[in-house]
Structures are given as structure tokens and as C-alpha cells.
Structure 1
Amino acid sequence: MDGVLDRIVVVRDGRGPEVLLVHGGAGPRTTWGALAPLADRWTLAYVHRRGYPPSPPPRERQDFEVDAVDLAPLLNSCRPHVVAHSYGVLGTLMAAAAAPDSVRSLTLIEPPLTYLVPGDPEVARLAHIGDAVLTHGMDTDLAELREFLRLAGASIGDGPLPEGVAAGVRRAHGARLASEAHPRLDVIRDAGIPVLVASGDHAAAHERICDALAEVLGGERSVHPGAGHFVAAAPGFAERFEVFLHKHSMGP
């Protein structure tokens, strides 16, 4: 289906300059719930990527290039601040590179841009298990599946996977591999878009990727332990994030 009914859904709350929130494999509530108090001063625009109700299902599969197309009109409408998490960073970077003047700032949280750290065994391991889960879903080797889910912030014990976690794995199954994403970081850097790269200090691979991304983009870097992969819920993140937003909310 084409047209208005095929557009993704954005739920807005609050008042003030718009902050567009782009989730990754987990939904908006899980990813961004801790930022809700910012709605007193900012308009929080919660993107629901395809496959996350009330947005429509994917046309074929989860795909960061489709995410970029979906995000493009949201950027052009009001030049928002954009914050993106995990897989959601990939489409966000592509959309920003296609129209750098439409983005006020970028906050990027633990993206799977493993190619930025070649030759690192822990980063290579993250790439391998991430691609395995997207390729095989619930048929992924159980040890690798559990390793990936823990890195991705899922709450799992030693028993069967909780149904909500299993549903997330099934939703991601068949998605376009994150290792195929090579956004035009040079365009973003050369456009001078303010960038904050944040991580949770829970996995060496994520730290090294975020270090490399901040260096390539000439961005600020912050580390917030305490919430694993869901960095937005970590102590001190919301305060650091809002300082960054205020710093880059002046001007045209």
C-alpha cells in the first residue's frame, strides 16, 4: 500500500523544540521511557519504525535504507534534534547524510557500525553474532543467541527465553544485516552537524565502535554505565543529553 496509510507513525509529547527519537530493535517505550520528563521542555517525537505498532509492517524486511526513506520527511519538516539507538542509528545516519541541513544535531547511541574498528576481535565477534541472529532468528546457535541478547540489553536468565524477547528475535529475523551499512559519515562531518556519541560501558566492542565514530565525526563523547545497552536509561544520561541539546538549539 502506498501513500498516507503506509507512512510510519510518530507520537509526539511535550512542548518546545522537537527531538526526534529513533529506536532500534526494542520499541520506543523500552528505549526512551527514561527521557519522558524532558517533555516539560522539549517536544519528544517518538518514531515507531516499521514492524512496531501502530506503524505498518515492513514491506519486505527490516531495512535501514527503508528507515532512511521513512525518516526523510520527518527531518525536512522542522529540522529536529535527532537521537537514535542501535540499529536505528543506521537509517538515521543515511537520512542525515542525504539532507544534512535538515538536522539540528545528532545523538548516536551504541550503533552496530563494526566496520569502523577493523581487526579488533571483540568487535568482529559482535558483528558475527549480530549477523547470525538477523540471519537465523530463533534457529541461531543457542549460546550465540544468548550472547547477543545480553549485549543487546535483553533480560534473560538461564531458562527458556521470555516470550517478549523471543518475539523480538522473530521480528528481527531476516532483517538487512547491519554489517552492510556504510553511511556517508564524511558528509555529516563536513556539514558540521553537532554530534554526541554515547555508550553504556558494558561491552568493550561497543565502547571501541563509539570511540571510532566520535573521532570520525568530530563529535562529543560520553559514557553512562548502569543500564547496559539502553544507555538513555542510565544515570546521568538525560542531564548530559539536555546540556547538549541546549548548546545546539540556538541559531537558525
Structure 2
Amino acid sequence: MGEVEVVREGSGPEVLLVHGGAGPRATWGALAPLADRWTLARVHRRGYPPSPPPQRGQDFEVDARDLVPLFVGRPHVVAHSYGVLGVLIAAAAAPGGVRSLTLIEPPLHHLVPDVPEVARLQRIGDAVLTRGMDADPGELREFLRLCGAPVGDGDLPEDVTAGVRRAHGARRTSEARPRLHAIRDADVPVLVASGGHTAAFEWICDALADVLSAERSVHPGAGHFVAAAPGFADRLEVFLRGSVT
């Protein structure tokens, strides 16, 4: 299928950045100053140029297979949203290949059963991935707002529509069951971060941090795009420095 592209800048220990539904620039732009002290390696998942397109839609299992070879230098890994799923599967398969994991608002709904806010997030997220622009208009806009898209009351912006079409047909997040115990048992340092903008993601991140015995931080101010929130870059760097072994 061809290899995914990784764009590197900076110097110092490598930090592998794995985006979710939004592209690398939108997801990680606020971390650019860290390139003075770290090598920022921005992965472009399949379907995000210059990487090749996926064969049958976005798939976190395919992401995991793409990522394992990138662990050869034992990088720190920072992942966002859908991108967290592939990272966790890859890290569970090769926990010795990562120096640390920073996990930002992943859609791991199964960790919090029987909580209505989480169940709704799963349902509308799966509907958008399955039906794309044909999803219920109200639920589509709700999901896009939760995911940080600039959605008002008028027509959806062209880039937002393009993002929905790109996500259409993706493997549903409700199918993801990464082997979290393999990561916990390997004593991989983990930071779980959220943006304090919706209860569902706070529930999920609390549960994930508990399962992985992880550090936990909340950074309001940028919605789902937590990497752009005030204080996140500083908190991340403190965590990375504490995980250098």
C-alpha cells in the first residue's frame, strides 16, 4: 500500500505526532516552538497527503501497522482523537518501542459503559463515520462541534465538508479494543489529556488514565484541539522530560 509520510523538524529526542480526523497542521501547529528542543515528527495518516489514500477508508488497525515501523528509534508518541486508537494497538504490540505516550481525547467509549453522555457520543460518531453527509443534520453538527470543527448555523464550511467525506466509511471507533493491559504491564509512562469542553471526553479520559495508571491533565480553551490550549505545550514538555530514560 506504500508507506505513510512523516515530516520532521527540529532537533533533540523524537516526538512522533499522530493526528486524528483533522490534519497534522491543524492538530499540532501550536506545538511548533518545541522544535527548538525536540524533533517533531508529524505522521500523515493514510488519506492525508502526501501519504497515500487508504484502500477502503480510514482504519485504526491499518494505522497501527503503519506506526509499528516508526517505533524503531523508540520515540515519545503524542496522539489525538481517532489517531489514539492506532497508537494504542501498535504500542500494545510493541510496548518497548515507545518511550512515552500522550493520549488526547480518544473515542474509547467502551471504557465507560452505561453513561448516557458517552453512549450518545459513540452513537452519533458511528453514524457520521457510517453515513457521512447523509447523517442526521442535527447530529452531524453536534458531532462536528464536539470535534472542534468551526460550525455555525449556515452551510458547513467547505473544508469541514471535505473532512466529513474523508471520514465517511472509516472503521467505527466502537469496534476498537486495544490491549491496554499490555501497555500498563510494560510500565510505559502515559499522560492522558483532555480539554474540559464536554463531559463525555472527561469520563473517557478519566477511565483511560485509571486503566493505564497514567498522569492526567485538563487544558480548557481550545475544545477538542487540546494541543492548542493554553499551558498544554508546557505540560507536555514537563512530562516528556520526566520520561527520558
Give the TM-score range, shorter chain: over 0.9
- Could you say which residue in structure 2 is the equivalent of 1:191? 186
- Could you say which residue in structure 1 is the equivalent of 2:114? 119
**Does the residue aligned with 2:6 lie in a helix, a strand or coil?**
strand
- Could you say which residue in structure 2 is the equivalent of 1:211? 206
1:157 aligns with 2:152: yes
Does the CA contact (< 8 Å) of 2:13 and 2:75 recur in 1? Answer: yes
- Measure, in 2, the Cα distance between the counterparts of 1:122 and 1:97: 28
**Does the residue aligned with 1:158 lie in a helix, a strand or coil?**
coil
Coordinate RMSD, CA, aligned: 0.5
Aligned equivalent of 1:18, options 14, 18, 24: 14
- Could you say which residue in structure 1 is the equivalent of 2:82? 87
Normalised to the residue count of structure 1, the TM-score between the two structures is: 0.97
- Could you say which residue in structure 2 is the equivalent of 1:9? 5
- Measure, in 1, the Cα distance between the counterparts of 2:238 and 2:101: 13
Aligned equivalent of 1:128, options 109, 123, 138: 123
Aligned structure 1 segments of 4 or more residues deviating by more than 2 angstroms: none
- Could you say which residue in structure 1 is the equivalent of 2:220? 225
- Measure, in 2, the Cα distance between the counterparts of 1:28 and 1:16: 20
Which amino acid in structure 1 is aligned with residue 117 of structure 2?
A: E
- Measure, in 1, the Cα distance between the counterparts of 2:26 and 2:97: 27
- Measure, in 2, the Cα distance between the counterparts of 1:99 and 1:144: 37
CA drift at 1:104: 0.2
**Does the residue aligned with 1:243 lie in a helix, a strand or coil?**
helix
Normalised to the residue count of structure 2, the TM-score between the two structures is: 0.99
The alignment covers a number of residue pairs equal to 245
- Could you say which residue in structure 2 is the equivalent of 1:34? 30
CA drift at 1:61: 1.2
**Does the residue aligned with 2:40 lie in a helix, a strand or coil?**
strand
Does the CA contact (< 8 Å) of 2:4 and 2:52 recur in 1? Answer: yes
1:105 aligns with 2:87: no
- Measure, in 1, the Cα distance between the counterparts of 2:191 and 2:91: 14
- Measure, in 1, the Cα distance between the counterparts of 2:8 and 2:24: 12
1:237 aligns with 2:232: yes
Structure 2 residues not aligned, in runs of 5+: none
Which amino acid in structure 2 is aligned with residue 123 of structure 1?
A: V
**Does the residue aligned with 1:16 lie in a helix, a strand or coil?**
coil
Q: Deviations 1:126-152 (Å, cap 9, x if unpaired)?
A: 000000000000000000000000000
Which amino acid in structure 2 is aligned with residue 42 of structure 1?
A: W
- Measure, in 1, the Cα distance between the counterparts of 2:151 and 2:84: 24
1:176 aligns with 2:171: yes
1:74 aligns with 2:65: no
Does the CA contact (< 8 Å) of 2:56 and 2:169 recur in 1? Answer: no
**Does the residue aligned with 1:78 lie in a helix, a strand or coil?**
coil
CA drift at 1:182: 0.3
- Could you say which residue in structure 1 is the equivalent of 2:243? 248
